[in-house]
Amino acid sequence: MCTISTSLNIKEPRWDQGTFVGRAKHFFTVTDPRNILLSNEQLEKARQIILDYKKGVVTPGLTEDELWRAKYVFDSAFHPDTGEKMLLIGRMSAQVPMNMTITGCMMTFYRTTPAVLFWQWINQSFNAIVNYTNRSGDAPITVNQLGTAYVSATTGAVATALGLNALAKHVSPLIGRFVPFAAVAAANCINIPLMRQRELKHGIPVTDENDNRLGESSKAAQQAITQVVVSRILMASPGMGSFILNLSILLQFPWMSAPIQVGLVGFCLVFATPLCCALFPQKSSMSVSRLEPELQEKIRASHPGVETVYFNKGL
């Protein structure tokens, strides 16, 4: 294949993000679990290819497919706003192996309250890391702010999950089967907003269609976090559904419970993670008329032709 020109727009995904299919193709590539096996050298090589290309420098012999591969390696490991390398276990490509491991432990060590409490804490701590790693915006967060967000998010989510799990003992078995999913959904509703509370207080960057920064908006943060909560809840539903559908098998062969559930959760997450991330565009948008009044005035004064703003919603 021939080397490429510098005219490709690698700031945007390779596929049309205006369609669900295009977003799904994008996120299947970004969340591919194989990405976590890449070495630091491979990540840095991809990063350098992308940084050079953005400056108009094409690596000798580079093909278009290799460029897009480098972009998706870069996107899977580096934060879109800050450019910093993300924590390994917080990357979306780590969702499948991490959730499979945690789920397996939660199913194996569930017989005592201390064990349930410990693994719920591990689960919510992992969720907190994912929520922080995939936050929106580039404003720095102090250690105190991060610590306060972590403690409040994990405590609230664990207490809610344990409370709902306790209710399962007092309802019919049929309803009880859905309680774990309700606990996961409720915990997500608490963990995500609390880990990203700085965005709700101070706003996230909004831009015009040419990526010119127009200000920070809490309204945009509210929309971004709401969309992420919905995606995460639906992301968990196939795994919970597989648990309900396979109860008869697990009751007949209890020793197969953990391996069957871990396998099912992993299989479901391979598809659920990218498909649920694709429900909403990562580069979300909002009408200027829905922003805070003072930001509306600022934008209309400095950029009178702008009717829509854009922002990274996070994952």
Tell me the pLDDT of the chain (315 aa) as tens digits. Answer: 455 767 778 888 888 888 999 999 998 988 888 998 989 999 999 999 888 888 888 878 888 888 889 889 998 899 887 888 888 888 888 888 888 787 767 766 666 778 777 887 888 788 888 888 888 776 677 777 778 777 887 787 778 777 777 776 776 665 655 666 676 777 777 778 877 888 888 888 888 888 888 888 899 999 999 998 888 888 877 655 555 555 555 556 666 666 766 777 777 788 888 888 888 988 888 898 898 889 888 888 888 888 888 988 887
| Residues contacting 42, CB < 8 A, separation 6+ | 73
81 in the same domain as 28: yes
92 in the same domain as 81: no
In 10 A of CB 38, how many CB atoms? 15
210 in the same domain as 124: no
Which one of 85, 106, 127 terminates a domain? 85
- pLDDT value at position 43? 92
Instruction: Please state the domain count of the chain.
Output: 3
Q: Which domain holds residue 111?
A: 88-170
261 in the same domain as 281: yes
Rounded Cα distance between 187 and 214, Å, is 33
Tell me if the pTM is above 0.95: no
92 in the same domain as 25: no
How far is CA 132 from each of CA 149, 162, 168, rounded to the nearest angstrom?
10, 23, 31
Rg, C-alpha atoms of the chain: 21
Residue 301 lies in a domain: yes
- pLDDT value at position 22? 92
153 in the same domain as 215: no
- pLDDT value at position 42? 92
Amino acid at the residue 244: I
250 in the same domain as 218: yes
Q: 204 forms bridges with which residues in the sheet?
A: 217
Residue 294 lies in a domain: yes
Which one of 85, 116, 133 terminates a domain? 85
Residue 2 lies in a domain: no
Amino acid at the residue 23: R
Which of 186, 192, 183, 174 lies closest to 116 in space, CA to CA? 183
Which of 154, 82, 27 lies closest to 312 in space, CA to CA? 82
Residue 181 lies in a domain: no
CB-based contact 283:310 (threshold 8 Å): yes
302 in the same domain as 221: yes
